[in-house]
Amino acid sequence: MPLETLEIEPNILFVRGTRRGRFPYSNSLVIRGKVIMDLGLGLDLVRELVDGVEFAALTHIHPDHCGGAWIFNERGKRVLSPEGYETRVDALARRFVDASLREDWKRFAMNVVGLRDFEVEPYSDGDTILRNPEITAMRLPGHTEDHHIFIIDGRIVFGSDIDLTSFGPWYGNPESDIKKFMRSVERAMELDAEIFVSGHEDPVFGRDEIVERLQTYLEIFEKRNELLLGLLDKPKTLEELVEISPFYRKKPYIKNILDFFEGQMIRKHLNLLIERGKVAEFNGEFRRV
């Protein structure tokens, strides 16, 4: 597969992933032949780029962002990853899905994405991972606990899974957190960025456009709250809401895993609405107050 690239500034190259960077793949950013950000392009594209950079830096350890990291290990090249998180496939399965789904999740991650166990060097929030240009890691959790963005010379943001997609924010793992995610998007809006690079969409140029796109993205949280309230005109169980599938709508593959992810997202919204006094739970059913 030929590389699809865009030079967003001299020596700063946006690389579009397989399937135009849509899940289960993602986009990358290559800086001055020094570092590549995220390795979910697809294995063939990672192999094409590995010899042209010195090291890789992962924003977080979702398979669609780290699937090709083991290729860097094979070439003896460094992979930086958020401190405190395991990178073995078994550990990731335990982290991201319930016990009943772990083998299915591993099959998908390994057979479709190409994920393998890999080794990393840790970085932490606020660390500078490159001096010229200056690249700083900033932890913005919610999507996952380990989710980071990279800020290049204070002007260019690699936003990873603050991804500005029309689907909207994704928080389908047990550790995901709506409130943290909302605050992370707000913090991203406060940055004085001139270019914002998404893990799954094309780059966005210009401060005004970036803030507008982030605001639209942020508003999806409340739109989903209203959507669920509309479905609770009659009491429904969590399973009934998942069957309606208000967020995904279509599940063309790994339906059991996508049902789990959607259930996690719906439950987090229901908890928030219960906290706000807009929903109540009785005997496993949820109803609008």
Q: What is the pLDDT of residue 252?
A: 87
Q: Is the dihedral of CA 172, 178, 180, 182 positive or negative?
A: positive
pLDDT band at 253 (very low <50, low <70, confident <90, very high): confident
User: What phi and psi values does residue 288 have, to the nearest 5 degrees?
Assistant: -70, 135
Tell me: the pLDDT tens digits for 88-114?
999 999 999 999 999 999 999 999 999
pLDDT band at 17 (very low <50, low <70, confident <90, very high): very high
Tell me: the pLDDT tens digits for 180-232?
999 999 999 999 999 999 999 999 999 999 999 999 999 999 999 999 999 99
How many of the other CB atoms lie within 10 Å of CB of 275?
A: 10
User: What phi and psi values does residue 74 have, to the nearest 5 degrees?
Assistant: -60, -35
Q: What superfamily in CATH does domain 4-221 come from?
A: Ribonuclease Z/Hydroxyacylglutathione hydrolase-like (3.60.15.10)
Tell me: the pLDDT tens digits for 27-65?
999 998 999 999 999 999 999 999 999 999 999 999 999
Q: What is the pLDDT of residue 181?
A: 98
Pairing of strands 78-82, 121-123: parallel
| Alpha carbons 269 and 261: distance in angstroms, whole number | 13
What tokens appear for 249 in the block?
Answer: 């709508």
Short-list 118, 115, 214, 220, CA closest to 167: 220
Query: Could you give the residue range(s) of every CATH 3.60.15.10 domain in the chain?
Result: 4-221
